[in-house]
Amino acid sequence: MDHVAANILVVGFLVFVAHAFTGLFSRTRIPDVLLLTIIGIVLGPVLHKVTPENFGAVGPVFATVTLIIILFEAGLSLDLDIVRGAIRSTLTLTLANFFLTMFTVGVGAHLLTSLPIHLTLLLGAIVASTSPAVIVPLTKHLNLAEMSRTTLFIESAISDVLSIVVAIGFVASFQLGRLRLGQMLGQIIATLVLAGLAGAGAAFLWSILLRRIRGLENSIFTTPAFVFVLFGIVELLGFSGYVAAAVFGAVLGNIEVFHGMAFMRRYLPQEPITLNETERVFIAEVVFLLKTFFFVYLGVSIKFTEIHIVYYACALTVLIFLIRPLAAWIGLSRSTPMHDASLIAIMSPKGLAAVVLAAIPIEQKLPGGVAVRDLTYVIVFVSIVFTCVLSFLVERSALKKIYAVPFRRFGHSGGTALPLVPPLP
């Protein structure tokens, strides 16, 4: 009984601490996600009070649920007009960052560790995505234009799909003895398009049913439950449930725009509705709680096994952040404000997708699989530290002048830059 009471005490303490960290973030720009991850590291790898095994099968499920709800809530806040304006540069940024990171990490890890090049390229694919679980809460408190926030969010959702498909494609190529690029590309396109269509169709259906659902007792959690159902169905069909969840949120949040189109009125029997303020506040609170425990769990899961692995992972993370400004310069529209481009150039945190994919080399019994996993875990943590620290410095110190150098011609051509949006309280 004392053990249960201690666990309940820790849960309550973490919620209060998370609120304090959020307030600290708004005043000092010290990110709450970083502090929560450090708490997890102290409880796990340092003090050994908690291990990932304590969570059992619930741990990965909890992490997945957190990412689903974060993507859904972020999609709700998107403006489709801004999405249309951002999609071209976002795709260019995503592809440039993904493949530059994959090859840079692949070659760098091969030179540092002497692991086979095909295995280090797999490592590069695993850590080439950016994490929406870090990006979304972090950018809410940064002085970014709405289009820049949208660009980062869409990049993180698409890059997760790229990372999963390319990493699994590499593993399949090891087994077959050859790499099927055409099949890999087709899988990426099918995953994105069909998952997006499933998310959009589900949003139209739910917006019609929502009025009736509200008549049921205790129905406020039915929308998140529907998102879980959507995710499960899309994943079982072999596509990206994460993309479906994000598109579901974006379409549901902008349903009035679609209903205003004449051709859509023929297919929508009544005026669709979106979430009301109470439902949005509830989902925001759910996101806050899940995010709190997710980053503590992430810290617990990180393994600092051998000191040379830590050194190699830190060096590879430095390479990732050196290559990111080049990807931003290639991918971003020249109308992007210089300040925004400088912040986007340091947004390369890794997260859940990398942690999950890191287990694949071990499951497939690949030689060097343990090293790939341990390198990935440390890269995830160090990349979050780098992103949080650099975002603080680029906004508050002379470092912003250094990061602004490649983007000095940004914000003046190709259109009018959007005004900066003040950080959220």
Give me the pLDDT at residue 57, please.
59
Q: Are 307 and 347 in contact (CB under 8 A)?
A: no
- Give the distance, in angstroms, between the CA of residue 378 and the centroid of all CA atoms in the same chain: 17
Report pTM.
Answer: 0.79
Q: Are 347 and 113 in contact (CB under 8 A)?
A: no
What DSSP state is assigned to residue 181? Answer: H
pLDDT tens-digit profile, the chain (425 residues): 566 777 788 788 888 888 888 777 767 667 777 888 889 888 888 888 887 777 665 677 887 888 889 889 888 888 877 888 888 889 999 999 999 999 999 999 999 998 999 899 999 999 999 988 889 888 887 889 989 999 999 998 889 888 888 888 888 777 666 666 677 777 778 888 899 999 999 998 898 888 788 878 778 889 999 999 999 999 999 888 888 998 999 899 888 777 655 555 565 656 667 888 888 899 988 988 888 888 888 888 777 777 899 999 999 999 999 999 999 999 999 999 999 999 999 999 998 788 878 888 887 788 888 899 889 989 999 999 999 889 888 888 888 889 999 999 898 644 334 444 444 44
Domain ranges of the chain: 2-303
Secondary structure tally for the chain: helices H, strands E? 20, 0
Task: Give CA–CA dist 179/323, Å, rounded.
Answer: 25
Task: Give CA–CA dist 74/61, Å, rounded.
Answer: 20
Q: Are 305 and 374 in contact (CB under 8 A)?
A: yes
Task: Give CA–CA dist 358/370, Å, rounded.
Answer: 9
Q: Are 381 and 104 in contact (CB under 8 A)?
A: no
What DSSP state is assigned to residue 419? Answer: P
Longest Cα–Cα distance in the chain: 66
Give me the pLDDT at residue 23, please.
79
The CATH label, of 1.10.1060.10, 3.40.50.620, 2.60.40.180, 1.20.1530.20, for the domain at 2-303 is 1.20.1530.20
Give me the pLDDT at residue 298, please.
80
Task: Give CA–CA dist 315/335, Å, rounded.
Answer: 33
